[in-house]
Amino acid sequence: MNILVINSGSSSLKFQIVETDQALIDVSQDKVKVKGLIDRIGTQSVAKISVTNGIEIKEAVPIRDHSAALDYIFRKITSGTLNIEGISSIADINAVGHRVVHGGEKFSNSVIVNKSVLKEIEECIDLAPLHNPANLKGIEATLSLFGEKVPHVVVFDTAFHSTIPEVNYLYALPYQYYRRYRIRKYGFHGMSHRYVSYRYRTILNLEREKLNVIVVHLGNGCSACAIKDGKSFDTSMGFTPLAGLVMGTRAGDIDASIMDFLAHKEGVSLSDIDILLNKASGLLGISGLTNDMRELLDEEKEHHDRRATLAINMFTMRIKHYIGAYLTEMGGADAILFTGGIGENSAEIRRRICDNMQFLGLEIDENLNKQKCFGAEGEISTAGSKLKAWVIPTNEELMIARDTFRCVMKVPSP
């Protein structure tokens, strides 16, 4: 089945065409036929398309909206010049899968799009005002292009965390605010946490109920997830993606009273403080240099920059904090799984996170750790470690494609 995967932003549209079959256990058998990105929609856009046969396109092109972006994509990929296997016309697309950030408490699974689903996604806009409207633009554009010729499926980033128990998802606010406004922990990066944990148990041939791991997704956005008995049990992001770990530009956990304090001291609005916490804090705010971990590690090594080192240490210490908390909440775990841009590619950050964890039964194999970068998958702990550590590259697009297949074919998730 050829599935078009859409990840729509306010001024961007990412896509992949994935050939997948839920019966395939080994994810390496799924085929990504083409992928790309249209950026700066509404102005002079930049289009990038990459085919698995090695052909690449990068060009500036005026694109007014998401519908025009899709039209451009399909004109290119069906022109015959890209030689995409099995894709010669729009009729070769069997289904469309959409990433939607927030499903609130309404959605605990992926669902086929209909009018009721679209209305409920709109009702979640208050919970994700930057993301859900953009996601809806992508859905509306593909519905306009395909009509009812193919089924459309929405896959929610928050759905995986719907199994978190009440004791972990509620905040200690007056309970009426949960009843009125559904203020609670929702969690994000759900597709990544779900894919990585699924991949791990597939490799080890574990039943879902036997899976007890901590997944650490580290990129510009970062989150940790405690997965107990195969289900999300707790996660570091909360009502919004701001909470939890130190991130590229997000502060993570802070004392909430700091917002009111800064508003008075700086003479700015709470909205300004919210932007500060999301866009100018984290690694960037502490270092004063960059939100790029690679650049911070270079600054530390080459220039012994004190604030670069401080930012790195705060980043790793917060992760240690959450790992320790989750191990006690879960009563122990079998493995820590690293993923995301930093988690997959920085052996140094993984080493620092796992340093001094011998008392927990975890010891890193330095050679294995250095080898597992840039797409490499596998264990990085020593053979004698009781608590294991693994690197597993994430693949959210494949998760969307497979969920789309399952919804269309009405087969249960493995």
User: In the Cβ-directed half-sphere of 403, how many Cα atoms lie within 13 Å?
Assistant: 29
Number of neighbours of residue 373 by Cβ within 10 angstroms: 14
Residue pair 216/336 in contact (Cβ under 8 Å)? The answer is yes
Q: Which of 39, 65, 157, 334 is catalytic?
A: 157
Residue pair 231/163 in contact (Cβ under 8 Å)? The answer is yes
- Could you give the CA distance from residue 66 to residue 15 in angstroms, rounded to a whole number? 12
Q: Is 355 a catalytic residue?
A: no
How many Å separate Cα 396 from the centre of its chain? Answer: 7
User: In the Cβ-directed half-sphere of 97, how many Cα atoms lie within 13 Å?
Assistant: 28
Beta bridge pairs of residue 2: 19
Residue pair 171/185 in contact (Cβ under 8 Å)? The answer is yes
Backbone φ/ψ region at 267: left (φ over 0), alpha (ψ -120 to 50), beta: left
30 marked among binding-site residues = no
99 marked among binding-site residues = yes
How many Å separate Cα 108 from the centre of its chain? Answer: 17
Class of residue 85 by CB neighbours under 10 A (exposed 0-12, middle 13-18, buried 19+): middle
14 marked among binding-site residues = yes
Phi/psi for 215 (5° steps) reads -100, 130
Number of neighbours of residue 374 by Cβ within 10 angstroms: 8
7 marked among binding-site residues = yes
User: In the Cβ-directed half-sphere of 133, how many Cα atoms lie within 13 Å?
Assistant: 6
219 marked among binding-site residues = yes
By C-alpha distance, which of 399, 402, 380 is closest to 390?
A: 380
344 marked among binding-site residues = yes
Specify the DSSP element, H or E, that contains 344: helix 340-345
348 marked among binding-site residues = no
180 marked among binding-site residues = no
E strands of 208-247, at which residues? 213-218, 222-228, 231-235
Phi/psi for 378 (5° steps) reads 150, 180
In single-letter form, the type of residue at position 375 comes to G
345 marked among binding-site residues = yes
The token pair that represents 296 in the structure block: 């911070």
By C-alpha distance, which of 91, 100, 92 is closest to 33?
A: 92
User: In the Cβ-directed half-sphere of 150, how many Cα atoms lie within 13 Å?
Assistant: 23
Q: How far is CA 186 from CA 131, 226, 284, in A?
A: 14, 14, 26
User: What residues are designated binding site for substrate?
Assistant: 99
User: What residues are designated binding site for Mg(2+)?
Assistant: 7, 396
User: What residues are designated binding site?
Assistant: 7, 14, 99, 217-221, 292-294, 341-345, 396
Would you please indicate which residues are annotated as catalytic (active-site) residues?
157
